Amino acid sequence: MIQAVLPSVAASPCLPANIPYPTLFGAEFLSLEANLVANYSKNVPIGYYVNHGAVNVTDVSFCNVTLSYTHPGQNDKVHVQVWLPTDTWNGRLQAIGGAGWQAGLHPAGLMGMTASIGEGYSTVSTDAGLGSETTPVNWGLLSPGNANLYLLQNLASVSLNDAAVIGKSITSSYYGQPPKYSYFNGCSQGGRQGLMLAQRYPDAFDGIAAAAPAINWNQFFVEDMYPSFLMDSLGAYPPSCEFNAITAAAIKACDAADGVVDGIITDEEACDFDPMSLVGTVINCTNFGAERPISSAAATIIQGAWSGAKKLDNSSIWFGVNKDAVLTGSQTDPAVIPTTCNSNGTCTRTSFELAADWIKLFILKNSSATVSNLTHEEFDRIAHASVQLYESIIGTNDPDLSAFRDRGGKMITYHGTTDSIITPRGSEHYYQAVMQTDPTVRSYYRLFLAPGINHCFGGPGAFPDTTFDAMRAWVEDGVAPDTLAATSVGTTPILKRSLCPYPQRQYYNGTGNSTAGEGFYCK
C-alpha cells in the first residue's frame, strides 16, 4: 500500500455553508448536504476494494458531502457522494466505479469508498440517476417501445465526467487546495467506466485502474445469451455436472502447456481439447447423486460457449470464453449456462438475467418479451440491433487514446482468463486495436491477463491486488509495471505469480518453487 499523508492540511468545517456548489456545465444542482462521520471503523475484505488488497479501516473521521443534481430537460436526478478524511488526507482523490447495472453507489462501491478513506484518499462515486436499482427493469423503458436513453447515457458516460468534476471541486473547497493526483478505480462496469473516461474524458483522471472491463457491451451481452439459445435450439438442457466434467477434462488436458501443473490453463491458444471426445463418458453426476453419461448436447453447447456466438451463416458475432471458465455458476459468478434440475432427473433452462434484461428492455423494448426459443434469424437480428442502436452510446471500444496519452495519463487493466461473463478475448481484441492505432501504447496503457481468475475476483489463480498501487507508482514515479505481482486467495497452497503484460504469456522454466512464483518468465 502506498500512502503519504500531507503534513498539514486545513480542512473547512463539515458544514454545507462552507462548501460551495461545483460548477458543472449542463447541470443544475438541487441539494448539498454535509455530515461529519466520526471514528468510523470497518474491515474491508479482499475482493471488495477492487484492484487493491484488504483494508482494515480504524477510527477514521470524514466529512460525507452528498449532492443531487439534474440535467435540465432530461428529468433525471443524480446523486453523488464525496467522502473527505478530516485529518489523514493524502492529497489524492480516488473515484470508485460501478458493478453490474449499478454506476457506483452500490454495496461493494461503498466498501471501496470506505477503504479509500482508510488509506487517506478523498473519494467520490455516483448513482448516475439510477438510485439503488440493481437491474434496469424499473428505469430501462420510459414506456413500451421507448428506451430511456438519457439514463442509459448517464450510466454509459455522462455521470462519469460529472463525478470527476464534482469530486475535484468538493475536495478543493474542503481542503483549500486541489488534489495533487486524481485516480479512477473500477472493475466490470467500473472497468468499462475507466476505459470510457480514457476514451471520452481524457482530462478527468491522471491514472485509471480498470479491471475486467465491460467494453464491447453490445457484443458480449449477446454472446452471454448464446449458450441458452443453443439449449433452446437443441431442446436439451443438460445438468451442470456434464458441463463441469467437460471443463475439468479440458483443464487436465491443457494445464501443463505452460510448464507447471497447477489446475490453470495459461496458454489458451495451445489448448485444442475437443469436448466431443467425452460424449458417452460416464460420470458421477452431483446434481442427482447418480452416474450419467455426458451427452452430445452438453458437448455441443460448451463448444458453442468456447467458440463464441455464430450467425446462421456461421460467421462470428463475438468471441467465446476460455476453456477453463466456469460456465455453470459459482459463489462469485452467475451461470452463463443456466440450468436447474429436479430430483427426478429432468432439467430446465433458467435465465442469465444481466444479458436478458439488456435484450428485453433495450433491443426488443418490451419488458414482457421472451428471449426463449428464438429462431436463429431472430437471434441474428438481436445481435445486429444491439450494435446498430447502442455502439456509440455504451460500446466503449474506441481505440484512439491519443488525448489520454498526450495529457500524461496512465492506465492498467487486468482481465481474468476464467471470466465467464465478459470474455477476456474482448480485452485482448481492444488492446490489439489500440496497438494498431498507436504503437507506443505500452508507454501509457498496459493489459495484464490473470490466469485462473474469474470475473474481477475469485478462482484458483493469483489475484493482482497490486494493480492500483502499480498504476499510482507509474503516474507519480514514472515506474512502468513490467509485471504485476499477484497472490491467490483462499487456495491451498497459496500461489504467487508475476503476471505478464499482453501480448506476453506466463511460462515456467522448470526450476525453483513454482508455488512461490519462482522460475516463471514472460514471452
Would you name the residues annotated as active-site residues? Answer: 188, 419, 455
Residue 422 near residue 397, CB atoms below 8 Å:
no
The grid coordinates listed for 424 are 477476456
Preceding amide of 20 cis, omega within 30: no
Specify the 3-state DSSP secondary structure of 521: strand
How many other β-carbons are positioned within 10 Å of the β-carbon of residue 97? 35
Q: Which residues contact 389 (CB under 8 A, 6 or more apart)?
A: 362, 363
Q: How far apart are CA 393 and CA 359, in angstroms?
A: 16
Residue 275 near residue 303, CB atoms below 8 Å:
yes
Residue 447 near residue 164, CB atoms below 8 Å:
no
Question: Distances in Å between the alpha carbon of 37 and those of 16, 95, 112, 162, 243?
Answer: 14, 19, 16, 25, 49
Q: What is the amino acid identity at position 439? A: P
Which phi and psi (to 5°) does residue 101 adopt? -95, 10
Specify the 3-state DSSP secondary structure of 190: helix
Angle formed by the axes of helices 217-234 and 296-307, nearest 10°: 170
Q: How far apart are CA 516 and CA 451, in angstroms?
A: 16
* Residue 7 CB burial class (10 angstroms; 0-12, 13-18, ≥19): exposed
Specify the 3-state DSSP secondary structure of 111: helix
Q: How far apart are CA 137 and CA 99, in angstroms?
A: 16
* Residue 14 CB burial class (10 angstroms; 0-12, 13-18, ≥19): buried
The grid coordinates listed for 423 are 470474455
Task: Map grid coordinates 498507436 to a residue.
Answer: 438
User: Closest Cα to residue 263, out of 243, 284, 247?
Assistant: 247
Residue 251 near residue 323, CB atoms below 8 Å:
yes
